[in-house]
């Protein structure tokens, strides 16, 4: 999934066939407030953990036990809290929930456990060990506001809002629907799909020769990433339309699945 400039200079997440999803990279201010909320909650838990350890250590003969408990509570607070929230709530910690933010994978799908874990481990260095300096620099230098943890995990924090579809939507040619349902499309690069989208939406502007040459060239390029081959009777425009329409359908299904986490 790529990003493109939207209204007001903001970036929107864009699918491979140039469909703008209602997920746009979160602004720096909203991310900062969400992080402040989460860190405040964690700081409170750390204070509570310290109090528990002090009470346990008071008069205890074995000082190793309170120390072990303190270490476990710190790990649960710094790592367990964000991992549990982001995994179980599909990318929303308490801070992100309050600000209407969500962590998603680079393709817009729900964040997975290993991604949440990578983000949490990076947070220890980015925020707790460097007082947020590393995260601040990374977020300011990156257009999507991604910190180091996002790069390691392959994620992006988004602000969920209703998006728009630019231009006409590519419809599925009915004879191709059966083939498209079982086609493997995940390897198709976003730039190739975007080029095919432009070709189809501007099809009537081209001369017959340009339509034919571009169509054959694009179909050959797309076929290197898509399997199985299309039906023999399919023309290049039908083939390209089927690929893009099916990509859009699958990405909309992922988006609907992502939204399901709110209920």
pLDDT value at position 109?
67
Q: Is residue 121 part of a domain?
A: yes
Based on the domain organization, do 34 and 155 belong to the same domain?
Answer: yes
CB-CB neighbours of 66 under 10 Å = 17
Based on the domain organization, do 152 and 34 belong to the same domain?
Answer: yes
Query: 104-108, 165-169, 208-212: which range is least confident on average?
Result: 165-169
Based on the domain organization, do 104 and 56 belong to the same domain?
Answer: yes
Q: Which of 128, 160, 192 is the last residue of a domain?
A: 160
| Residue 252 pLDDT exceeds 90 | no
pLDDT value at position 17?
39
pLDDT value at position 78?
92
Based on the domain organization, do 121 and 219 belong to the same domain?
Answer: no
Based on the domain organization, do 122 and 187 belong to the same domain?
Answer: no
Based on the domain organization, do 72 and 147 belong to the same domain?
Answer: yes
| Residue 230 pLDDT exceeds 80 | yes
Query: 10-14, 44-48, 89-93, 258-262: which range is least confident on average?
Result: 10-14
| Cβ contact 188:226 at 8 Å | yes
Based on the domain organization, do 46 and 148 belong to the same domain?
Answer: yes
Q: Give residue 181's domain range.
A: 174-262
Based on the domain organization, do 85 and 206 belong to the same domain?
Answer: no
Entry pTM:
0.54
Mean of the per-residue pLDDT values of the chain: 82
């Amino acid at each position: 999934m790529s990003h493109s400039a939207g209204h007001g200079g903001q970036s929107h997440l864009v699918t491979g066939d140039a469909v703008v999803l209602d997920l746009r990279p979160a602004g720096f201010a909203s991310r900062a407030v969400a992080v402040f909320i989460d860190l405040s909650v964690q700081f409170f838990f750390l204070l509570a953990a310290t109090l528990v350890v002090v009470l346990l250590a008071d008069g205890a003969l074995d000082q190793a036990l309170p120390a072990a408990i303190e270490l476990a509570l710190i790990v649960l607070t710094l790592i367990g809290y964000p991992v549990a929230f982001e995994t179980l709530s599909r990318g929303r910690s308490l801070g992100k929930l309050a600000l209407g933010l969500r962590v998603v994978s680079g393709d817009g799908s729900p964040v997975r456990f290993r991604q949440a874990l990578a983000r949490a481990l990076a947070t220890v260095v980015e925020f707790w060990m460097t007082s947020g300096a590393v995260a601040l620099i990374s977020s300011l230098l990156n257009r999507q506001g991604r910190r180091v943890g996002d790069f390691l995990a392959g994620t992006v924090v988004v602000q969920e809002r209703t998006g728009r579809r630019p231009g006409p939507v590519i419809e599925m040619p009915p004879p191709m629907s059966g083939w498209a349902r079982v086609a493997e499309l995940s390897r198709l690069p976003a730039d190739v799909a975007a080029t095919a989208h432009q070709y189809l939406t501007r099809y009537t502007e081209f001369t017959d020769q340009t339509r034919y040459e571009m169509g054959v060239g694009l179909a050959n390029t797309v076929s290197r990433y898509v399997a199985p081959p299309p039906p023999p009777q399919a023309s290049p425009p039908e083939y390209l339309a089927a690929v893009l329409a099916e990509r859009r359908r699958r990405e909309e299904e992922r988006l609907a699945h992502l939204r399901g986490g709110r209920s």
